[in-house]
Amino acid sequence: MRILIANDKFKGSLPAEKAGFHVKKSLESVFPGAEIDLCPIADGGEGTAMAMTTALDGEWLKTQTQDAHGRPVEAPFGWVPGSATAIMEMSAASGLAMVQDIELNPFKSSTLGTGILIESALRRGARRILIGIGGSATNDGGLGVALALGYNFKKAGRPISPNLETLLEADQIEKPATLPSCELIVACDVDNPLLGPRGATRVYGPQKGVRDFAWFEERLGHLADLARRDLGVDPRDVPGAGAAGGLGFGLMAFLGGRLVSGFDMVATQVGLEARVASADLVITGEGRLDEQSLQGKGPVGVARLARRLGKKIVGVAGSVDDSPGLRAQFDLLIGIKPAAMPLDEAMRRTGELIESAVSAHAAPLRALNP
């Protein structure tokens, strides 16, 4: 018997790979001798890089960079030597959670740290970069990334190094002659354009401290105009261009990035369909399975794939919403949290609870064995 474990993180408790380990440990007693394939998944958000690096048997590296406000930080990224693939999250360098200890200043916040992270992967010889762009603290349209990669900005023919406050002075942009060729795949699950009422500034800016919408719109529009005239690219209206303060635009304009849904990126890169096809039983899950999970969450993506391929599918979660829509996606749902246990205790004991809950469902699990 072959079992695939393709679970997401249990948010606030365990990353995907550790939660999957506890599922695997309990299944080994339920199905002695079974071949178990551990494939952590994610939907493009927090934990995506670690989950994909684990699923692809990569290694976890760190590089010196800076946060959105220019403070030195050490940011991790995954590296898969065989395919020269780097796997990263912009939030590891330019994330909003990293600057909660200081007053937000969107006028000065920059994606330069993310650009340094990308440049580090390119120096290592990356032929492919996979990046999730959720959780940004920036609203610079990827200007920082462009500067880190060596794009040249000029004013009246003289080089300048602009920030958001001086960007309007730039009247020319040039692509660096030595920028390595690399496939860039961007996990992005929003469809906002760069500018306008649904754009980066008006929709996502307020949570980063943006108040003067017109000030930022003028600068992002100027950056897009320079890219259109001097680089021959204009992705400002591409769905997702407004993601992460316009970083979606910047990665398309400056690196030729391709935006895809987070779950689709993960599923494609880890070969999820082939792994489901070769399994007899598929186990997935995350911290909570409910109606919201039906809106593009990873575990339901796994469940739908398993259904399409005619495989039995089991969901394991901290808590499970008893809704017909959700239950229709699974052959068996296992909630691990005892009703009387306080949530904070359950979150501390997630690994233990996964093992005991899965073991307690040995009989219904064995009944699914084809």
User: For 310-339, what is each residue's pLDDT tens digit?
Assistant: 999 999 999 998 888 899 999 999 999 999
Token pair of 342 as six digits: 């306080």
- Domain limits, the chain: 2-41+281-367, 48-263
48-263 folds as Glycerate kinase, domain 2 (3.90.1510)
Class at the top of the CATH hierarchy for domain 2-41+281-367? alpha beta
Query: What is d(CA 78, CA 207) in angstroms, rounded to the nearest whole number?
Result: 29
Structure confidence at residue 370 (pLDDT) = 64
Cα R_g (the chain), whole angstroms:
22
Residues 61 and 79 sit within 8 Å (Cβ to Cβ)? yes
Strand order in the sheet with 128-132: 59-66, 72-80, 85-89, 128-132, 183-187, 258-260
Mean pLDDT, residues 54-73: 95
| DSSP secondary structure string for all residues of 12-62 | TTB-HHHHHHHHHHHHHHHSTT-EEEE-----SSTTHHHHHHHHTT-EEEE
Q: What is the pLDDT of residues 210-238, one digit of tens each?
A: 999 999 999 999 999 999 999 999 999 99
Largest pairwise CA distance in the chain: 76
Q: Report which of 3, 2, 6 is spatially closest to residue 272, judged by C-alpha positions.
A: 6
Q: What is the pTM of this model?
A: 0.88
Tokens 């407004």 sit at which residue? 242
Q: How far apart are the first and last CA of the chain?
A: 9
